[in-house]
């Protein structure tokens, strides 16, 4: 009897990675408080609806079908490939950022990223960041707080790169005065945030030295803030932070190449810096509370970005719909395949 019990326990401990994940996530979401406020969802869908109404006022289906018939599909495939590669680079960067806390398998990092993208396509308010954090935390044995801290570092790096790119573009491209003002404000905000974070890292360096942050569950606001700063300190002072910074340059570069290739395929023969500005405007816009897959906001800010370069609204509207569909299509299959590989069902994902 004892041997049977031990064999049963050993069999349960040897469950496959997929079953452990589905059990973990189903338990997590079943025990969550169901009485969540729907105000953010309503706000995000409301913003998306307003954006769609404004964009579709000048939409002509016949013109869209006529222009799609003349699309150069070799450029479309190239644009899709570059966009997929950008998120592969994001998975590589994530693996570098988490090295101070343990070895992360790149294959699982890639699956978590594409699974998060699929969640963003299906659900409003971009819950994919939290989903991919839970997946990687459960699979690699790293605390959820540290994984979420690494995503915060990702957003900070992206903000710095976006600000620098916008500053360079504003010097080379003739932008309207309001966009130059936005670039100046964004630059000042970024410098202030960086100064505060560098000061905090320096403070923790003096206080902690080279001691690793304790892996404890912090209680209280002060303890949680110190825990978050300790994670930031560990990531920012690790040798793997520098290859993570280098890898970060490829993420927007591939995304810009993807959007630029879509412009070439559609017959919008705009230069590379134009794609830089349009992508920055799109990324800033879709960071607001949003509908699933950024529907509405993507089209609105794409049209807004193209209007800076005197592209007429009807053509810009048709292109925004075409580019959105073409660049979203690969992630439907890649994200769903990643979920199947992990072993998550749509029910547990919800």
Q: What is the pLDDT of residues 310-337, one digit of tens each?
A: 899 999 999 999 999 999 999 999 998 9
Phi, psi (rounded to 5 degrees) for 320: -60, -40
Let me know: does 158 contact 152? Beta carbons within 8 Å. Answer: no
Q: What pLDDT was estimated at residue 11? A: 43
Q: What pLDDT was estimated at residue 36? A: 60
Give which of 158, 159, 132 is closest to 244, Cα–Cα: 158
Q: What pLDDT was estimated at residue 261? A: 96
Q: What pLDDT was estimated at residue 325? A: 94
Q: What pLDDT was estimated at residue 3? A: 40
How many CA within 13 A on the CB side of residue 237? 21
Burial, 65: exposed, middle or buried (Cβ in 10 Å; 0-12, 13-18, 19+)? exposed
In a domain, 208, yes or no: yes
Please provide the DSSP assignment of 106-134 as one string: HHHHHHHHHHHHHHHHHSTT-THHHHHHH
In a domain, 307, yes or no: yes
Q: What pLDDT was estimated at residue 181? A: 77
Q: What pLDDT was estimated at residue 205? A: 63
Q: What pLDDT was estimated at residue 224? A: 66
The parts of the chain modelled with pLDDT lower than 50 are 1-35, 216
> Any idea of the CA torsion for 83, 112, 89, 170, to the nearest 10 degrees?
60
Give which of 184, 157, 159 is closest to 170, Cα–Cα: 184
Q: What pLDDT was estimated at residue 214? A: 52
Place of tokens 């490829």: 250
User: What total number of domains does the chain contain?
Assistant: 1
Q: Is the dihedral of CA 41, 46, 51, 57 positive or negative?
A: positive
Q: What pLDDT was estimated at residue 167? A: 80
Tens of pLDDT, residues 82-102: 999 999 999 999 999 999 998
**Residue 155 corresponds to which tokens in the numbers above?**
């957003």
In a domain, 53, yes or no: yes
In a domain, 6, yes or no: no
Output the average pLDDT for the chain: 81
Q: Under 8 Å CB-to-CB from 138, ≥6 apart: which residues?
A: 20, 21, 24, 25
> Any idea of the CA torsion for 58, 62, 66, 71, to the nearest 10 degrees?
50
CA distance 32 to 18: 21
Q: What pLDDT was estimated at residue 211? A: 54
Distance of CA 199 to the CA centre of its chain: 27
CA distance 333 to 330: 6
Cα angle, residue 109 at apex, residues 160 and 30 outer, rounded to 5° = 105
In a domain, 236, yes or no: yes
Structural domain containing residue 326? 44-349
User: 35 by DSSP, 3-state: which?
Assistant: coil
In a domain, 142, yes or no: yes
Count CB-CB contacts under 10 A for residue 296: 26
Q: Under 8 Å CB-to-CB from 125, ≥6 apart: which residues?
A: 40, 41, 44, 289, 290
In a domain, 31, yes or no: no
Let me know: does 131 contact 344? Beta carbons within 8 Å. Answer: no
Give which of 115, 117, 134, 126 is closest to 41, Cα–Cα: 126
pTM value? 0.81
């Amino acid at each position: 009897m004892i041997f049977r019990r031990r064999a049963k326990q050993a069999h349960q401990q040897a469950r496959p990675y997929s079953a452990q994940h589905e059990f973990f996530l189903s338990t997590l979401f079943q025990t969550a408080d169901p009485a969540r406020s729907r105000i953010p969802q309503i706000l995000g869908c409301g913003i998306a609806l307003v954006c769609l109404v404004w964009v579709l006022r000048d939409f002509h289906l016949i013109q869209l079908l006529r222009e799609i018939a003349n699309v150069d599909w070799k450029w479309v495939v190239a644009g899709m490939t570059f966009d997929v590669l950008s998120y592969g680079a994001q998975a590589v960067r994530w693996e570098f950022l988490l090295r101070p806390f343990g070895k992360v398998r790149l294959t699982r990092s890639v699956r978590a990223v594409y699974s998060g993208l699929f969640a963003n396509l299906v659900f409003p308010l971009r819950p994919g960041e939290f989903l991919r954090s839970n997946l990687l935390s459960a699979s690699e044995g790293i605390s959820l707080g540290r994984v979420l801290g690494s995503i915060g570092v990702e957003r900070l790096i992206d903000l710095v790169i976006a600000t620098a790119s916008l500053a360079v573009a504003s010097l080379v491209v003739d932008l309207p005065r309001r966009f130059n003002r936005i670039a100046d404000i964004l630059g000042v905000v970024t410098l202030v945030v960086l100064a505060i974070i560098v000061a905090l890292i320096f403070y923790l360096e003096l206080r902690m030295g080279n001691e690793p942050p304790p892996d404890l569950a912090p209680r209280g606001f002060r303890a949680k803030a110190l825990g978050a700063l300790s994670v930031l300190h560990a990531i920012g002072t690790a040798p793997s932070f520098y290859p993570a910074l280098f890898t970060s340059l490829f993420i927007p570069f591939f995304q810009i190449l993807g959007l630029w290739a879509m412009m070439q395929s559609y017959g919008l023969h705009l230069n590379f810096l134009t794609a830089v500005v349009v992508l920055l405007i799109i990324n800033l816009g879709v960071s607001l509370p949003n509908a699933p897959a950024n529907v509405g906001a993507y089209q609105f800010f794409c049209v807004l970005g193209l209007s800076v370069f005197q592209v007429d609204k009807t053509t810009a509207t048709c292109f925004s719909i075409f580019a959105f569909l073409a660049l979203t299509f690969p992630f439907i299959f890649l994200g769903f395949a990643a979920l199947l590989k992990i072993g998550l069902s749509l029910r547990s994902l919800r």
